[in-house]
Amino acid sequence: MYLMWTSLKSYKRENNMSFSSFIGNEAAKSQIESFISKDKIPHAIILEGARGLGKRTLAKLISKACVCEKTWEKPCGKCIHCKKVDREVHPDVIYPEKSGALHTYNIETIREMREDAYIIANEAQNKVYVLTEVDNMGIPAQNALLKILEEPPANVIFILTCISSMNLLQTIRSRMQIISLVPVHFEEAKLYIRKKYKELPDAKIDEAVKISYGNIGLAIEMLTSEGLKETIRIANDIASVIVSPRPFELLKATSGLISDRKKFKEVLNFIIIFLREALILSYTGKSNGCSYNVINELANNLSGKKIIDIIEEINKTVIYIDQNVNLTLLSSNLCINLQSIVF
């Protein structure tokens, strides 16, 4: 069977969580809570944002609200349905299984999910399917998913998480409610982590929050992983030479990644985080409180359109990395295309 519960061991369980306990992203939470209070939850939702921003946690909260037995203040966190979602054993909140070298959803999985979606829920009023990190889902699988999004069965909700919804077909995006998550303010992130990890020194927490640009999940991971800190340092170095008029500098900065597919992808995803912060700074003149030089450099030297074009180009490269394309060629092509966008 393709449809089954998959392990979420990499995420700490937050029992009895409500939307108020989800730190930051007030606009996104307000939007979701409005849907729930009016009993008008969209049949399909995309949660997009960088790794570490809590997309899967928020997907679980929405799932709980969809199956909660209370008629108000959902999710209550106390009813049998909420508790089963917390324990990851609710039969009506389903995480389809990923497969293959790309560790994504293939067309057979989506077709089986489609058939299963028309079967009435086992225990709750609604049935929820959560598909995580769908950025590299193949076109055949996306087209298969599109068929059920065009004519969704009643009382069925689809929740997708991804780094960027631009990695999905426009026809899918047009049929889903897109909710974007962003890093929280510097001080808010520090306060949350200090309460959660009281044994850690303030200086170490401050450094982790600054390096992660207010991304709480990444900051917490960084506090226990030296490797992640090094990855962010490399991303910072590469991002700082994107605006350099000398293409050799960009080629040199990326040359150390052509032997490590996983690290190459992680570095590019962090560069996207920097670019998104620069985009916010460029348009609003405000940041989330993390005053890193590279973000100022990008915002001061690139127009909003150029930043968006660069993000799209890097997103394409991330997908190609998952498709086993030669990294030397991929790195060279990325550098050439970025130079073309910038200059």
In tens, the pLDDT along 278-314 reads 888 888 776 655 556 888 889 999 999 999 999 989 9
Q: Say which DSSP state 99 is in.
A: B
202 in Cβ contact with 195 (< 8 Å)? no
Distance between CA atoms of residues 50 and 212, nearest Å: 11
Largest CA distance in the chain: 62
- Tokens 């037995």 -> residue: 69
What are the angstrom distances between the C-alpha of 250 and each of 255, 294, 296? Answer: 9, 15, 18
pTM: 0.75
Residues counted in the chain: 343
- pLDDT of 338 reads 93
215 in Cβ contact with 52 (< 8 Å)? yes
Q: Which domains does the chain have, with CATH numbers?
A: 19-180 (3.40.50.300), 225-342 (1.20.272.10)
- pLDDT of 146 reads 96
* Confidence category of residue 9, pLDDT binned at 50, 70, 90: very low
End-to-end CA distance of the chain: 51
pLDDT tens digits, residue range 95-149? 999 987 668 899 999 999 999 999 999 999 999 999 999 988 999 999 999 999 9
Q: What are phi and psi of 303, to 5 degrees?
A: -75, 165
Distance between CA atoms of residues 163 and 293, nearest Å: 24
* Confidence category of residue 10, pLDDT binned at 50, 70, 90: very low
**Tokens, residue 60:** 């679980």
Average pLDDT of the chain is 86
* Confidence category of residue 224, pLDDT binned at 50, 70, 90: confident
Distance between CA atoms of residues 243 and 271, nearest Å: 13
Q: Which carries the bigger pLDDT value, residue 139 or residue 247?
A: 139
